[in-house]
């Protein structure tokens, strides 16, 4: 909800208008049943079917069901479990029908879970039009008729689920745990479709020890940035954000899995802790949802308004993980800075310090951005961004520049931008950069995972375009090589190569019997021994310098020696 109602709120606080005037003579209906039909008048007090001027409230722990054959009906407002800190709760199951909710001027926001006991709204089917999503066709400056939020767990416990072919179209926001006092969770799966004009926030407020959670699964599609769904010319938007943690000491978790798709115009994570995981064949795409439906790269036109950054303030921490066969694309080209493309630990607004953020691409996952990938470009030394690439099969394509601790004006920033290849075999994934790989203020940190190089390996880490280097620092503390081997970083005009120089020195061992019965062992590497040939070998105490003499009384018995690196 935006600030368009701030004057009304001030007048109300001053006593200049009444709550009844703000509500436009809406009628509060209280659910009095345990279970039953939402449209059964006898279940409500006063006894009437909720309609366009009624606010339906369920506080008694009961469950109202909207049947598959409910038809089309309208409602002013919906509140489930409305008293903070109380044991009130309410539940709605929607199996079908079409609900027009909050479609009149002055209607209130929806509340799902304001109390200490869990309230739920479960859509197994049907369609909801919330806050006039069709009222401003093609507009980039409207957030629904009333600027209403679909609040899940704002100051209490709330859960919202969409299954099967359920559809939800909202003019403004979906907010999950928007206040530090609450906890919200959202699940969208099956073939469900959720579309919001203004945005989705997962853990907007803090501090709180509770995680706010959203899972998009199955074949579901979620669109943020077009109130009627990506590509629909009759929808509207005013931002189209996906905002993860925004407040200090808050945590937001988003998972996109199976074949689900999430489309949005802007990525934002500020303070707090943000975790985004895209797995299986899940997809996330950033583009202008009013102009394209996102089904192909050609139908993901550039977003020219708000920018996209991940952890723009300090303290903040975030991980964006692409795994399995996940896909992420970015087409974000705002008219001005401070970020174009995607920023990992980068400023959302000029002067933002930025925190710690990681983009991790592994398995067969694919990441592509039409513009820049900007890493560690915040205005303070708290900015710490990392691109981690794991294994040989990930696909990474940057359409313009790769910037490591270099701002949009090509000036060095005080933070840290790191490329972190995690090598698992004899080959490794390449970061393809169509523009310039600007790495001269960046760090290379190499890690070995389950693989021991034998010498002669060569890995192309970055392929340009052009490369402006070298790295300002290299770190091989997690990539210790065997004796005789060393790492070497080579720079060409259009590439960065990581090579393993040298050859592993194989250990040697020989022995000779002395006249007194003792045994002199000559070796390279480390001398180890065991009481049996296939037993556990441990280092020989006192063995150093390449020779070791076994006393005659020991040499006469059974003892097995070998050398190893």
Contacts of 228 (CB under 8 A, 6+ apart): 133, 134, 169, 195, 234, 235
Sheet holding 309-310, edge to edge: 309-310, 342-344, 373-375, 402-404, 436-438, 466-468
Q: Tokens 């490369």, residue?
A: 467
In 3D space, the residue among 79, 88, 208 whose CA is nearest the CA of residue 149 turns out to be: 79
pLDDT one-digit tens code per residue, 91-130: 999 999 999 999 999 999 999 999 999 999 999 999 999 9
Contacts of 457 (CB under 8 A, 6+ apart): 426, 499, 500
Distance CA 227, CA 147 (A): 12
43 DSSP 8-state letter: G
The C-alpha angle 535, 536, 542, rounded to 5 degrees, equals 120
In 3D space, the residue among 494, 431, 491, 422 whose CA is nearest the CA of residue 461 turns out to be: 431
Q: Quote the pLDDT of residue 544.
A: 87
Task: Name residue 385's beta-bridge partners.
Answer: 357, 417
Distance CA 71, CA 36 (A): 17
In 3D space, the residue among 506, 559, 507 whose CA is nearest the CA of residue 533 turns out to be: 559
Q: What is the mean pLDDT of each run of 10 residues along the chain (565 residues)?
A: 38 32 70 97 97 97 98 97 96 98 95 97 98 98 97 96 98 92 95 98 82 97 98 97 92 97 98 97 98 98 97 97 98 94 97 98 98 98 98 98 96 98 98 98 98 96 95 98 94 98 86 90 92 91 89 77 87
Q: pTM of the prediction?
A: 0.89
């Amino acid at each position: 909800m935006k600030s368009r109602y701030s004057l009304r709120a001030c007048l109300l606080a001053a006593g200049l208008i009444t709550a009844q005037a703000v509500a436009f003579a809406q009628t509060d209906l209280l659910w009095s049943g345990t279970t039953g039909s939402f449209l059964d008048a006898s279940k409500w007090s006063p006894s009437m079917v909720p309609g366009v001027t009624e606010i339906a409230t369920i506080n008694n722990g009961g469950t109202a069901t909207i049947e598959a054959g409910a038809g089309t009906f309208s409602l002013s407002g919906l509140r489930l479990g409305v008293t903070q800190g109380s044991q009130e709760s309410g539940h709605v199951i929607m199996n079908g029908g079409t609900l027009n909710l909050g479609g009149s001027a002055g209607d209130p926001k929806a509340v799902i879970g304001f109390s200490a006991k869990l309230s739920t709204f479960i859509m197994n089917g049907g369609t909801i039009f919330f806050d006039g999503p069709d009222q401003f066709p093609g507009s980039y400056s409207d957030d629904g008729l009333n600027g209403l939020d679909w609040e899940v767990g704002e100051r209490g416990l709330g859960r919202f689920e969409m299954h099967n072919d359920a559809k939800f179209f909202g003019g403004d926001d979906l907010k999950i745990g928007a206040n530090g006092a609450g906890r919200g969770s959202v699940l969208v799966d099956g073939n469900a479709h959720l579309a919001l004009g203004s945005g989705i926030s997962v853990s907007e407020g803090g501090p709180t020890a509770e995680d706010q959670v959203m899972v998009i699964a199955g074949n579901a599609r979620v669109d943020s940035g077009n109130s009627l769904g990506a590509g629909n010319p009759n929808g509207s938007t005013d931002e189209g954000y996906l905002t993860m943690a925004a407040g200090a000491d808050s945590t937001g978790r988003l998972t996109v899995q199976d074949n689900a798709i999430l489309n949005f115009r802007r990525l934002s994570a500020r303070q707090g802790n943000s975790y985004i995981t895209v797995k299986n064949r899940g997809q996330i795409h950033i583009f202008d949802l009013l102009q394209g439906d996102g089904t192909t790269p050609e139908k993901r036109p550039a977003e020219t308004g708000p920018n996209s950054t991940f952890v723009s303030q300090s303290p903040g921490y975030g991980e964006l993980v692409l795994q399995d066969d996940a896909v992420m694309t970015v087409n974000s080209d705002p008219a001005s800075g401070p970020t174009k493309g995607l920023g990992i630990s980068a400023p959302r607004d000029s002067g933002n310090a930025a925190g710690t953020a990681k983009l991790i691409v592994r398995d067969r996952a694919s990441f592509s951005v039409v513009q820049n990938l900007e890493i560690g470009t915040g205005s303070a030394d708290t900015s710490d961004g990392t691109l981690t690439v794991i294994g040989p099969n990930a696909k990474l394509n940057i359409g313009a520049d790769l910037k490591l601790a270099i701002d949009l004006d090509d000036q060095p920033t005080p933070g840290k931008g790191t490329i972190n290849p995690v090598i698992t075999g004899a080959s490794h994934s390449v970061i393809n950069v169509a523009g310039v790989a600007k790495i001269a203020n960046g760090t290379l940190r190499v890690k070995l995972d389950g693989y021991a190089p034998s010498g002669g390996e060569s890995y192309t880490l970055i392929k340009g375009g052009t490369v402006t280097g070298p790295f300002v620092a290299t770190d091989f503390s997690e990539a210790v090589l065997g004796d005789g081997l060393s790492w070497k970083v080579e720079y060409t005009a259009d590439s960065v190569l990581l090579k393993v120089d040298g050859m592993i020195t194989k250990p040697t061992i020989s022995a000779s019997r002395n006249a007194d019965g003792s045994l002199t062992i000559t070796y390279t590497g480390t001398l180890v021994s065991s009481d049996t040939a296939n037993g556990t070998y441990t280092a020989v105490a006192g063995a150093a310098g390449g020779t070791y003499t076994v006393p005659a009384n020991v040499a006469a018995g059974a003892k097995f020696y070998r050398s190893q690196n």
